């Protein structure tokens, strides 16, 4: 129906609509107006004599009404530039077109906008008219009489006045409707207007294109009948929600036929909903590209509103913060599930939170390192970069937080600080009892470990529960730690630690643990992880360090590396103390072994060459390779080298010095643990002589008389069966001379102050002829034998020499 036909039909039904206005008693309008109607009266029958009586009065009434409608046509017919101004003008003039205009007040409502005369007040005598645009905008007029003189009674509205109100509302509604439709035609988004039954009232051209239907086809049709595939989807849920709650909402929808993404914003109206469709394909593609980037970056990204509420988080951020994206949506940055603390372990107040600082100052924060306790109780360290995204006016539109997990780095830093006092303690230790409990106290006096103990290990024995019982050396961080720790679940991992000389650990998130009973017990006691660290030196285990912690991310690979180094350092000191006991033992057993076992390279080579070989020193170059410095008599070094290269020894030979008459010299030989002396040293003996002549070796070593000599002999014969203990001599070392005292000092300094690598480098340099003039070996040659670079060899050699002589002179001067 076109506009002219619609207005003609409206005019033809004006009288009936006007009658219906007064025949609607009790119809509620809004909180500021009410209706009250008088009984039917004859047209023109009014006690107010303003217009006169009879035909003349009736003419004046309709003339006044026509003048009012003429003025309304001037303001509302066509497309006024500003409908609000037209309505405001008309409502101010409206009283003059009614009888007793001085007592008339009027109000016109358009949607939520209200236009009224200055003294408008609701009364019981009201004239009302209302209508709706096709878009759904409610338009109404209320006219009241304020005349309350005695005898006037209730106001009886004239037929012309009723027709004026009804027709004026029709004109205003048409004007509003034309303005709305014209506005919707100009917008780039699609707009669909639905009534409260969700039937289409109007769709603009853009919506027609998106929906694939024109306005006339859709008008009056239910949205679910037109698009049944949208029923029972997110679209229906959102539209129903807008109707039920009166709140706006939105959803995205993909049109598979057009390969197009559309965002639908649903806004409740007076009696229905308005849906605004926006084509968002480009932004959706860009968003998905951003999603792929966010999913692959190694750092956590969190987007927040200017108020600090989370709107988005990538998977890495979810993992770092311990909450899924759905649980984080709308959560504030200071949610109580996240307890953050500074490097000293003190809680960070809300006003000092990095996000709060950015909100308050608008400044970017970089590299803010802090700890965080996650919802599951675990802890980690994060480095946060927080930056604002500002609009053109400088206001914060969004806050971006970039999170990097620095737990490993921070833990290593803290562990290094924890182990430093232990190293200082080891440097001054003179007895075992000065090591065990003090070390445990130092380790538990930190946030890193809540329980520690050290127990000794006797080689060649089977571990039992009694061996692992908690003794006086066990230390707990506080009284809340369960004690004593039951040792039975530690037996299996302790046995592996002894056998392999490698750390054994269990952790909370280690579901495939080799030692499940130990792991389960660890968790039952309130710990998050446990470790057994072998205290080893040159593959000999002197004891075990047991640690438990409540840190969720404890005992990772790097921490285990640090603990292994610590265990080796403690093992080195225990070895030095054991050696010291041998050197200063009141009673020493001197053992002499003879061997013809060809499993020894030196026995085999001596027998083939008919020569004498003296092993002067054996130095570990790696876990498997040992470097031997030997002196050869009565045999060509080339012949010895041929045996090493052509046999199954995998030996590496380098000649240091050779002689022609008699044949022989000094040589460096790398072997994979194929010497009798190495087995003895591993068992804690001190080798004083090692000579092989014509295939028969004589090795002399010393051990404290209290050592288990039987076990030592058994171990040697297991490795080299054709070996016999030929003598055992017990004696008390003689009182040392001053010269011997200096030698003992050097020995102590060598064993206790130099690192393993420094000892190896110094010994290799000595026996390799590096200190000879001219040198028999270069720094590069010795470095190659020890699998080192030349610069590393020189660095360790200089440091070893400096430490050795500084310590010697300090002790002599004391």
Q: Which residues, 6+ apart, have CB-to-CB distance to 498 below 8 Å? A: 457, 463, 534, 541, 544
Residue 635 is given by DSSP the state S
| Alpha carbon distance 310, 303 (integer Å) | 6
Residues 453, 571 share a domain: yes
Residues 39, 90 share a domain: yes
pLDDT given for residue 20 in this prediction = 35
Q: Both tokens of residue 622?
A: 């790696």
Residues 713, 591 share a domain: yes
Q: Which of 256, 282, 308 is the last residue of a domain?
A: 282
pLDDT given for residue 698 in this prediction = 94
Helix (H) or strand (E) segment spanning residue 92: helix 83-93
Residues 713, 589 share a domain: yes
Ordered DSSP codes for 348-361: PPGGG-HHHHHHHH
Q: Which of 164, 183, 202 is the last residue of a domain?
A: 183
Q: Per residue in 677-719, pLDDT tens?
A: 878 877 778 888 999 999 999 999 988 776 778 888 888 998 8
Answer yes or no: are the C-beta atoms of 111 and 137 closer than 8 Å: yes
Instruction: For residue 424, give its domain range.
Output: 410-583
| Alpha carbon distance 515, 453 (integer Å) | 20
The answer to the question of residue 289 being in a domain is: no
Chain Cα centroid distance, residue 640: 61
| Alpha carbon distance 104, 498 (integer Å) | 106
Q: Which of 583, 598, 625 is the last residue of a domain?
A: 583
Q: State phi, psi for 388 to the nearest 5 degrees.
A: -90, 150
Q: Both tokens of residue 164?
A: 């004026």
Q: Which residue is listed with tokens 């009888």?
A: 99
pLDDT given for residue 667 in this prediction = 93
The answer to the question of residue 291 being in a domain is: no
The answer to the question of residue 290 being in a domain is: no
Residues 307, 266 share a domain: no
Residues 435, 556 share a domain: yes
| Alpha carbon distance 48, 45 (integer Å) | 9
| Alpha carbon distance 644, 604 (integer Å) | 10
The answer to the question of residue 811 being in a domain is: yes
Bridge partners for 544 per DSSP = 455, 534
pLDDT given for residue 691 in this prediction = 94
Q: How many residues does the chain have?
A: 814
CA dist list (Å): 641 to 156, 414, 632, 646, 669: 134, 51, 12, 9, 9
Closest CA to 551 of 412, 436, 455: 412
- CATH number of the domain where residue 228 is located: 3.30.450.20
Q: Both tokens of residue 360?
A: 């308050």
Residues 592, 524 share a domain: no
Query: What is the reported pTM?
Result: 0.43
Residues 640, 505 share a domain: no
Total number of domains in the chain:
6
- CATH number of the domain where residue 795 is located: 1.10.10.10
Q: Per residue in 373-412, pLDDT tens?
A: 887 777 788 999 999 998 888 899 899 999 998 887 777 7
| Alpha carbon distance 174, 172 (integer Å) | 5
pLDDT given for residue 425 in this prediction = 80
Residues 708, 739 share a domain: no
Closest CA to 15 of 45, 51, 52, 43: 43
The answer to the question of residue 50 being in a domain is: yes
The answer to the question of residue 790 being in a domain is: yes
Low-confidence residues in the chain, pLDDT < 50:
1-52
Residues 536, 422 share a domain: yes
Answer yes or no: are the C-beta atoms of 251 and 275 closer than 8 Å: no
| Alpha carbon distance 660, 263 (integer Å) | 96
| Alpha carbon distance 214, 412 (integer Å) | 69
pLDDT given for residue 150 in this prediction = 62
């Amino acid at each position: 129906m076109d506009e002219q036909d619609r207005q003609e039909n409206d005019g033809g039904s004006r009288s009936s609509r006007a009658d219906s206005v007064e025949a609607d008693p009790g119809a509620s309008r809004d909180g500021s107006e009410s209706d009250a109607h008088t009984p039917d009266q004859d047209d023109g029958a009014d006690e107010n004599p303003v217009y006169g009586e009879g035909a003349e009065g009736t003419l004046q009434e309709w003339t006044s009404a026509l003048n009012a409608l003429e003025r309304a046509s001037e303001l509302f017919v066509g497309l006024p530039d500003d409908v609000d101004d037209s309505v405001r003008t008309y409502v101010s003039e409206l009283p003059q077109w009614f009888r007793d205009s001085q007592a008339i007040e009027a109000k016109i409502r358009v949607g939520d906008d209200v236009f009224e005369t200055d003294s408008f007040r609701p009364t019981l005598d009201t004239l009302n008219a209302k209508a709706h645009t096709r878009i759904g905008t409610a338009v109404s007029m209320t006219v009241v009489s304020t005349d309350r003189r005695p005898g006037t009674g209730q106001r009886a509205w004239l037929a012309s006045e009723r027709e004026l109100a009804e027709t004026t509302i029709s004109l205003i509604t048409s004007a509003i409707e034309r303005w709305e439709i014209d506005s919707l035609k100009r917008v780039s988004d699609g707009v669909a207007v639905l009534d409260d039954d969700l039937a289409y009232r109007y769709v603009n051209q853009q919506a027609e294109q998106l929906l694939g239907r024109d306005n006339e086809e859709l008008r009056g049709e239910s949205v679910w009948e037109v698009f049944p595939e949208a029923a029972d989807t997110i679209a229906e849920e959102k539209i129903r929600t807008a109707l039920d709650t009166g709140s706006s909402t939105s959803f995205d929808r993909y049109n598979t036929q057009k390969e197009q993404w559309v965002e639908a914003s649903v806004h409740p109206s007076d009696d229905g909903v308005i849906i605004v469709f926006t084509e968002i394909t480009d932004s959706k593609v860009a968003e998905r590209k951003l999603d792929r980037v966010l999913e692959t970056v190694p750092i956590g990204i969190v987007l927040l509103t200017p108020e600090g509420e989370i709107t988005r988080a990538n998977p890495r951020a979810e993992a770092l913060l311990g909450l899924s994206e759905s649980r984080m949506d709308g959560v504030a940055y200071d949610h109580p599930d996240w307890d953050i603390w500074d490097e000293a372990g003190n809680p960070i107040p809300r006003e000092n939170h990095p996000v709060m600082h950015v909100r308050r100052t608008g400044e970017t924060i970089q590299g803010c390192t802090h700890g965080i306790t996650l919802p599951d109780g675990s802890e980690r360290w994060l480095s946060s970069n927080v930056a604002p995204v500002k609009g053109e006016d400088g206001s914060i539109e969004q806050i971006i937080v970039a999170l990097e997990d620095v737990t490993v780095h921070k833990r290593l830093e803290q562990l290094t600080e924890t182990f430093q006092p232990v190293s200082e303690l080891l440097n001054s230790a003179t007895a075992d009892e000065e090591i065990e409990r003090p070390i445990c106290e130092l380790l538990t006096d930190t946030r890193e470990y809540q329980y520690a103990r050290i127990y000794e290990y006797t080689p060649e024995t089977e571990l039992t529960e009694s061996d692992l019982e908690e003794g006086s050396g066990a230390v707990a961080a506080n009284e809340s730690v369960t004690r004593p720790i039951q040792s039975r679940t530690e037996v299996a991992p302790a046995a592996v630690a002894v056998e392999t000389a490698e750390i054994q650990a269990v952790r909370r998130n280690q579901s495939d643990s080799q030692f499940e009973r130990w792991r389960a017990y660890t968790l039952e006691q309130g710990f998050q992880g446990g470790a057994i660290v072998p205290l080893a030196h040159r593959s000999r285990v002197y004891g075990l360090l047991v640690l438990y912690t409540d840190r969720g991310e404890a005992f990772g690979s790097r921490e285990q590396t640090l603990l292994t180094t610590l265990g080796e350092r403690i093992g080195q000191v225990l070895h030095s103390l054991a050696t010291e006991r041998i050197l200063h033992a009141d009673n020493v057993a001197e053992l002499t072994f003879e061997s013809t076992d060809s499993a020894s390279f030196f026995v085999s080579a001596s027998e083939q060459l008919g020569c004498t070989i003296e092993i002067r020193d054996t130095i570990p170059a790696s876990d498997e390779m040992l470097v031997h410095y030997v002196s050869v008599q009565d045999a060509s070094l080339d012949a010895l080298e041929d045996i090493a290269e052509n046999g199954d020894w995998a030996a590496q030979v380098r000649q240091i010095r050779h002689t022609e008459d008699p044949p022989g010299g000094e040589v460096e030989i790398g072997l994979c643990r194929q010497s009798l002396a190495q087995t003895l040293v591993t068992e804690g003996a001190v080798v004083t002589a090692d000579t092989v002549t014509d295939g028969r070796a004589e090795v002399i070593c010393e051990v404290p008389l209290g050592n288990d000599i039987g076990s030592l002999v058994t171990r040697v014969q297991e490795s080299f069966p054709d070996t016999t203990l030929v003598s055992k001599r017990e004696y008390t070392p003689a009182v040392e001379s001053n010269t011997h005292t200096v030698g003992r000092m050097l020995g102590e300094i060598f064993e206790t102050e130099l690192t393993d690598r420094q000892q190896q480098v110094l010994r290799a340099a000595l026996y390799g002829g590096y200190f000879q003039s001219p040198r028999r070996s270069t720094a590069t040659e010795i470095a190659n034998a020890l699998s080192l670079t030349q610069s590393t060899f020189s660095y360790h050699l200089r440091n070893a020499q400096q430490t050795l002589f500084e310590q010697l002179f300090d002790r002599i001067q004391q």
